Structure 1
Amino acid sequence: MRRRGAAASAAVLLTLALGLGITGCDRGGNTDLGLALSTLNNPFFVGIKKGAQAEAKARGLKINITDAQNDPTQQINQMETFTSQNVKAAIINPVDSDAAVPAVGVANRADVPVVSIDRGVNGGRVATTIASDNVEGGRLAARSLAAALGGRGRVVVLEGQPGTSAARERGKGFEEGIRAFPGIEVVARQPADFDRAKGMDVTTNLLQAHRGVTGVFAANDEMALGAAKALGSSAGGKVRIVGFDGTPDGIAAVRDGVLTATIAQQPELLGRQAVDRALRAARGERLPGTVKVPVVPVTRKNAAEFGG
C-alpha cells in the first residue's frame, strides 16, 4: 500500500511539474509578458492592444496590459508590477521618451528585457524599438498636403505630445518634405497633445491669430478631427487637412472628404511584432536597435482598402 501511495504521489508531482512547464516560466507570477501603454483613450493604442493580445493568445501566453492614462509615473508603478509578476519580458509605449527612463530602469534592475513600441526611450537598456517609420510618414504627409494645395498656401501644424519621439519624428519629416514646396508657408506650429478636444481648441486659436490658413497638418488623426471640428464647413474645402495614424474615424473622415488624407500606420501589426520581439529578447536573441513598420498614405481613392 505504501508503494502504491508513493507511486501515486510521484505521479501527482510529475503532473504538476509538467503543468508548470506548459504554462511557461511564470516563476511564481501569473503573467508571461507585460505591456504598459501610454493611454487607451486613443483608437491607435487600442489597435496596438488588440494586436498584442492576438499574438499572445496565438502563442498560448498571458499578457498583462496596463493604461498609464498619459501619466509617466504610472508607468514606473506598472513596470514594478510586471517585475513582481516575474514576466519574461516587458513592452513599454512611453508617455514621454525621457520620463520613461526610470520605468525601464526598474525592468533593467530585475534583468527583465524591455521592448519599446511606437515611441523610443531616451535611456536605459532597451532590446529594440518597434515603431512606424514616422519620419517618412511626415514626408508623405507634406507631399499629400502640398498636392492638395497645388503647391501654394499657408499651413499650420498641430504637433503631438511634447517629449515623444513620434511627435518629434513626424514633425521632422513634415519639415523636410514641405521644404520642396517654396510656395507653401508654415505660419505656426503648436502642440495639441495628440488629443481631439485640444486639437479643436488649438486650431481655433491659430485661425484667429493667422488669417488665410489653407492647410493643416496634424501629427495624428485625433488632432486632425479636432481641427476639422474647429473649421466646420471649411474642412476639406477651403482648408485641407492631413492627419496621421489611419484610425477608423480618420479613414471615415477621408472617405467623407473632411480630411484630405491620413498617413496610415498598422497598430495591430505593431502590437504583434512587439510581442514577437519581446519573446526573442527573453530568449537572449540579439535584436536590431529599431524595427520600422511601413506607413501608407490614405486618400479617397484607396480609403476602401483600409475599411473606409
Structure 2
Amino acid sequence: MAVAGTLTAALALTGCDRGGNTDLGLALSTMNNPFFVGIKKGAQAEADARGLHINITDAQNDPTQQINQMETFTSQNVKAAIINPVDSDAAVPAVGVANRAKVPVISLDRGVNGGTVGSTIASDNVAGGRLAAKTLAESLGGKGKVAFLEGQPGTSAARERGRGFEEGLRKYPGIQVVARQPADFDRTKGMDVMTNMLQAHRDLTGVFAANDEMALGAAKALGGRSGKDVQVVAFDGTPDGITAVRNGTLTATIAQQPELLGKQAVDWALKAAHGEKLPQSVKVPVVLVTRKNAATFDGG
C-alpha cells in the first residue's frame, strides 16, 4: 500500500498531461453539424491519448446553455475550459464564469469579444475566404453574378470568412455580388435562402456559402444547375461536402481540419492549465478541395 501511495503521489506531480488530477471541459456550440462532430472526435482522441477525462457538452446553439455548462465545469474543478462560442458577444458571460473561478479558458473556432481568454484556436478564416473568392472567380472566368450565403451572425468565423471573401473579390471587378443573406450555417436554411434568392436572381452563375451545410442546401435548391451552370464554392471540408465535390455538385470546398482543431485545443488547454504563456491566437491552415484532389481527403 505504501508503494501504491508513492506511485499515486508521483503521478500527481508529473503534470497535467499524465492524467490523474486533470479534467477539461469543452463547450461546443452544437453537435448538429459534421464539422463540430469532427472537433469533438479530435478532442476526445487527444484527451484519451493523454489519459484525461474531458466533459464535452452541446449548447444546441443556445448561448445561455454555455453559461450553465461553464458553471458545471467550474463545479467539477476542471483545470481548463474550452469554449466554442455560439455567439462571440453572448459568450462573454460564460467566459466570465470561468474567469471568476480562476479556470483558464481557450476559445475554439470562434473568438470571444470579452473576458480573459488564454488563446483562440481557429482556422485561418480570412485566408480561406480569400481562397474561396479566387476559386469561385476563376471558375467563372472572372465575370458573373454571384450570391453569398453568410454564416451565423455574431460569430467571428462568419465575419472573418465574409471579410476574406470580400477582399478576394476586389481583384475580380467582373464579379458582382447581387445577393447576400445569412443562413446560419444550416443546411435547411441554406436551401430556403437559396430558393428565395433564385426567385429574384434567376441569372446567378455562382454561389459562395460560408460552410458546407449551407452549400449543400443551396445545391438542393439549384437542382441540376449546381456545379454546372452555377458554380458553388463552400467552406469546411466535411465528409458530405467532399463527397459533393467529388460528384460535381459542389465546385470546391475550403477544407478546415476539425479533428486537428480539437486536438490542438486540448493541447493548448493543458498548456494554459500549466500556467504557460500562450499566443493570442493559433491559426490552423485551410486546404482547397476540388474534384482533382477530393479523393485524397477523408469522406471522399
State whether TM-score is above 0.5. Answer: yes
Shift of 1:13: 8.6
Which stretch has the larger CA shift, 197-206 or 210-219?
210-219
Name the CA distance, whole Å, in 2 between partners of 1:137 and 1:286: 28
> Given that residues 257 and 284 in structure 2 are in contact (C-alpha distance below 8 angstroms), is that contact kept between their aligned partners in structure 1?
yes
Moved over 4 A (4+): none
Partner Cα distance (1:274, 1:13) in 2: 33
What is the CA deviation profile of residues 56-98 of structure 1, one whole-angstrom value per residue up to 9, with x for unaligned ones?
0111100000000000000000000000000010000000000
Structure 1 CA distance for aligned equivalents of residues 19 and 175 of structure 2: 58
Task: Give me the CA root mean square deviation.
Answer: 1.5
Q: Quick one: percent identity of the two aligned structures?
A: 80
Long gaps (5+) in structure 2 = 13-17
- Tell me, in whole angstroms, the C-alpha distance in 2 between the residues paired with 1:23 and 1:236: 48
1:176 paired with 2:190, answer no
Counterpart pick for 1:92 among 83, 90, 94: 83
Q: Distance in 2 between matches of 1:249 and 1:50?
A: 17
Q: Give the alignment's TM-score, normalised by structure 2.
A: 0.95
1:188 offset after TM fit, Å? 1.1
Q: Which amino acid is the alignment partner of residue 207 of structure 1?
A: L
Deviations 1:22-74 (A, max 9, x none): 75225xxxxx0000000000000000000000110111100000000000000
Paired residue type of 1:150: G
Matched, 1:25 2:25: no
Distance in 2 (alpha carbons) for counterparts of 1:33 and 1:239: 45
**CA-CA distance at 1:209 after TM superposition:** 1.6
> Which of 132, 141, 144 is residue 135 of structure 2 equivalent to?
144
**By how many angstroms is 1:147 displaced?**
1.0
Q: 1:48 is matched with which residue?
A: 39
5+ unaligned residues in a row in structure 1: which ranges? 1-7, 27-31
Q: TM-score, normalised by structure 1?
A: 0.93
Alpha-carbon shift at residue 211 of structure 1 (Å): 2.9
Quote the residue 1:3 is aligned against.
none
Describe the shift of the 1:238–1:13 C-alpha distance in structure 2 as closer, same or farther (beyond 3 A). Answer: closer
After superposition, give the CA deviation of every residue in 1:166-212 in whole Å (9 maximum; x if it has no partner): 00000000000011111110001100000000000000001112231
Deviation at 1:17, TM superposition (A): 5.2
Distance in 1 of aligned mates of 2:282 and 2:92: 20
Aligned length: 294
